[in-house]
């Protein structure tokens, strides 16, 4: 079969679970309209649980409408950008839907960003209003950006009284050297207090007409793997489409009956869209956590009988050895999902031995509104991140061109579907490089090296930028890392290419040993371990032991930082 036709024939469809359609009808509604419909239907049901405090759907809608009215009175209008610089908390959900209800677009900022990073995102997104955790206000002030409105909120506002003091102390410890401004100072500086706005404003927001296909809902920023972070333009239709696609692919979920654990950060596209948004537009109960405290999370899963758990590889790696993991009967959950990075085989095997439950992998990017592929719940395949969601077409093309490669060969993954971004905000060059027309159809070039097997399941190899070229050979950093993770004394590893005039690039591995092995395992022993399992050209030439490795916001090893360090040294 012609390579192009092999992909366009969608061989994965025959492995969809029963009842899952090839495509979905995307409702012509905005994100807040979707939520309002659910809130009306499940008004008396608990929407959020925040360390014991419960907020019903009816109450949540009331708070959203009050805050939307307050934002309107502060001059926020359709097309404005509202920045959310918050931890996971009810205020995040309230501010998110309130801004969207006014036709504004939101841009979430990571709570671990420095003032310089905050400045870049506020200026680049053209934010005029920020809703900010009070303990983080220092960074906003130091950023020196002129903002029309600064709204402060405190993590304790929606905590049970007994936990407020504890919550404030925990934040003060986490953000050492940063101090929340007093109420008096805030008011004297012209800042607004979230609670005052909600309490003193009626739930009477203006009726704003939103065109789901054209109007922007969010400007989430990518990690900045090369250069400064850039924002993906996601419309209301992108987000509504993704909800329809996930709902169609997971018919095991029942509207209004599920409980999800929401500890993945909402500023990240995974936590924001897959956990927060999908939970609330399906009438689920979300148990919110500001930080991933494993004891609290495991207790909450049993207490509230969670039906879904979303994590990242580093979390599952930790949980498979954690002494209290057995508190949860993992086999009872409808879905245990992993995203944001690739699961190592050793993690999967250890997890299944420990819990008897399977982790289902998915794949997505900020540019795909979080998800494009997922593993069919009834037919997982080892080493695969699954198949395209209903309405998504995936294909593999030449890394440096647009020719479709034969099935089974590695190339660059391209995607087409209603959840694909509109482009990069104010980055026409990058947009033109990423969104390309191939034979009359618009595709997203993902920058990921992938292959599709005969059954239509997709397998990840590496990021295009992480491909190491050693003396003309192509080496996948992830392949070398997989071997390193197979060593019983290696806890974590990161592999990068280091420029070398003779070889082009040489392979360097950063390794974290298990505590009992430190000082006892040598660099040569690690190299010999690799020689027995890898072709000669794939064996790392440099091993550097570390106490820990730099991580991204969602906990995966940051090869970018390791590469920069290696190049500098």
CATH of the domain at 498: 3.30.300.30
- Residue 566 CB-half CA count within 13 A: 25
Mean pLDDT by 10 residues, the chain (569 residues): 93 96 97 98 98 96 98 98 97 98 97 91 98 95 96 91 66 64 77 96 98 98 70 98 97 96 95 97 96 92 96 90 94 94 85 95 96 95 94 95 95 97 96 92 95 96 85 85 93 92 90 92 95 92 94 80 84
Output the pLDDT for position 225: 44
Output the pLDDT for position 168: 61
Residue 218 — φ and ψ, nearest 5°?
A: -145, 150
Residue 214 lies inside a defined structural domain of this protein: no
Q: 325 burial class (0-12, 13-18, 19+ CB within 10 angstroms)?
A: middle
What gap in Å lies between CA 532 and CA 526, rounded to an integer? 10
Residues recorded for the chain = 569
Output the pLDDT for position 175: 62
Residues 498, 543, single domain; the answer is: yes
What CATH code is carried by the domain that includes residue 164?
3.40.50.980
- Strands (E) in 227-306, as ranges, are 234-235, 259-262, 285-288
Residues 456, 369, single domain; the answer is: yes
Residues 442, 489, single domain; the answer is: no
176 contact partners, CB below 8 Å, separation of at least 6? none
Final residue belonging to a domain, choices 462, 494, 519 = 462
Q: What is the residue range of 387's domain?
A: 3-26+231-462
Model pTM score? 0.88
Residues 358, 441, single domain; the answer is: yes
Residue 216 lies inside a defined structural domain of this protein: no
Output the pLDDT for position 324: 95
Residues 379, 453, single domain; the answer is: yes
What CATH code is carried by the domain that includes residue 333?
3.40.50.12780
What gap in Å lies between CA 449 and CA 466, rounded to an integer? 10
Residues 187, 269, single domain; the answer is: no
H or E segment at 469?
Answer: strand 467-470
Contact at 8 Å (CB) between 464 and 449? yes
Distances (CA, A) of 13 to 8, 155, 201, 292, 360: 11, 45, 51, 36, 18
Quickly list DSSP for 181-210.
PPHHHHHHTT-EEHHHHHHTS-S-------
Residues 340, 489, single domain; the answer is: no
Output the pLDDT for position 465: 83
Residue 40 lies inside a defined structural domain of this protein: no
Residue 418 lies inside a defined structural domain of this protein: yes
Tally of structural domains, the chain: 3
With vertex at residue 432, the alpha carbon angle to CA 427 and CA 438, rounded to the nearest 5 degrees, is 160
Output the pLDDT for position 173: 58
Residues 449, 487, single domain; the answer is: no
Output the pLDDT for position 62: 98
Please choose, from the candidates 215, 269, 222, the residue with its C-alpha nearest in 3D space to the C-alpha of residue 121: 222
What gap in Å lies between CA 55 and CA 44, rounded to an integer? 9
Residues 291, 440, single domain; the answer is: yes
Residues 368, 491, single domain; the answer is: no
* 3-state SS class at 551: strand
Output the pLDDT for position 569: 74
Final residue belonging to a domain, choices 403, 429, 462 = 462
Final residue belonging to a domain, choices 179, 209, 239 = 209
Residue 220 lies inside a defined structural domain of this protein: no
Provide the 8-state DSSP code for 386. B
Contact at 8 Å (CB) between 547 and 513? no
């Amino acid at each position: 079969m012609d390579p192009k036709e092999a992909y366009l024939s969608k061989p994965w469809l025959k492995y969809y679970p029963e009842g899952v359609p090839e495509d979905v009808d995307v409702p012509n509604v905005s994100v807040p309209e979707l939520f309002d419909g659910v809130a009306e239907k499940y008004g008396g049901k608990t929407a959020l649980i925040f360390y014991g405090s419960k907020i019903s759907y009816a109450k949540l809608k009331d708070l959203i409408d009050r805050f939307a009215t307050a934002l309107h009175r502060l001059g926020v209008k359709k097309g404005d950008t509202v920045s959310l610089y918050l931890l996971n908390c009810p205020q995040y959900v309230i501010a998110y839907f309130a801004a969207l209800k006014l036709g504004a677009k939101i841009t979430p900022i990571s709570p671990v960003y420095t003032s310089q990073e905050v400045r870049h995102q506020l200026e680049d997104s053209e934010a005029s209003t920020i809703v900010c955790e009070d303990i983080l206000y220092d960074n906003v002030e130091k950023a020196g950006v002129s903002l029309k409105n600064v709204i402060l909120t405190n993590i304790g506002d929606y905590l049970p009284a007994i936990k407020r003091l504890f919550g404030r102390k925990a934040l003060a410890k986490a953000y050492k050297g940063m101090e929340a401004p007093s109420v008096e100072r805030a008011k004297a500086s012209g800042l607004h207090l979230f609670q005052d706005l909600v309490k003193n404003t009626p739930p009477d927001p203006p009726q704003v007409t939103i065109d789901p296909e054209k109007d922007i809902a969010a400007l989430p920023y990518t990690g900045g793997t090369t250069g400064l972070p850039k924002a993906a333009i996601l419309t209301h239709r992108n987000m509504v489409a993704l909800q329809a696609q996930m709902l169609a692919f997971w018919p095991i979920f029942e509207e209004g009956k599920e409980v999800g654990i929401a500890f993945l950060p909402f500023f990240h596209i995974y936590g924001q869209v897959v956990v927060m948004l999908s939970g609330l537009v399906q009438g689920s109960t979300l148990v919110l956590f500001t930080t991933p405290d494993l004891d609290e999370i495991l207790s909450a899963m049993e207490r509230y009988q969670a039906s879904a758990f979303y994590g990242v590889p580093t979390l599952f790696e930790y949980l498979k050895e954690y002494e209290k993991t057995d508190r949860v009967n993992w086999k009872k959950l409808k879905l245990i999902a992993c995203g944001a990075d690739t699961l190592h085989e050793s993690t999967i095997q250890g997890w299944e031995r420990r819990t008897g439950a399977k982790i289902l992998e998915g794949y997505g990017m900020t540019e795909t509104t979080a998800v494009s592929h997922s593993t069919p719940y009834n037919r997982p395949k080892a080493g695969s991140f699954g198949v395209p969601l209903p309405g998504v077409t995936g294909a593999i093309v030449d890394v440096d061109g647009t020719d479709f490669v034969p099935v089974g060969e590695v190339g660059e993954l391209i995607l087409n579907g209603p959840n694909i971004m509109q482009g990069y905000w104010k980055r026409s060059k990058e947009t033109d490089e990423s969104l390309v027309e191939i034979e009359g159809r618009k595709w997203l070039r993902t920058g990921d090296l992938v292959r599709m097997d005969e059954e239509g399941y997709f397998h990840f190899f590496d990021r295009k930028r992480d491909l190491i070229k050693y003396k003309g050979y192509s080496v996948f950093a992830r392949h070398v890392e997989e071997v390193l993770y197979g060593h019983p004394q290696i806890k974590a590893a990161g592999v990068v290419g280091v420029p070398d005039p003779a070889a082009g690039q040489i392979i360097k591995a950063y390794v974290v040993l298990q505590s009992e092995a430190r000082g006892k395992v040598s660099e040569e022993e690690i190299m010999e371990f690799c020689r027995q399992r890898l072709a000669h050209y794939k064996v790392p030439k440099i091993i550097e032991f570390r106490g820990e490795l730099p991580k991204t916001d969602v906990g995966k090893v940051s090869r970018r930082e390791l590469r920069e360090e290696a190049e500098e040294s």
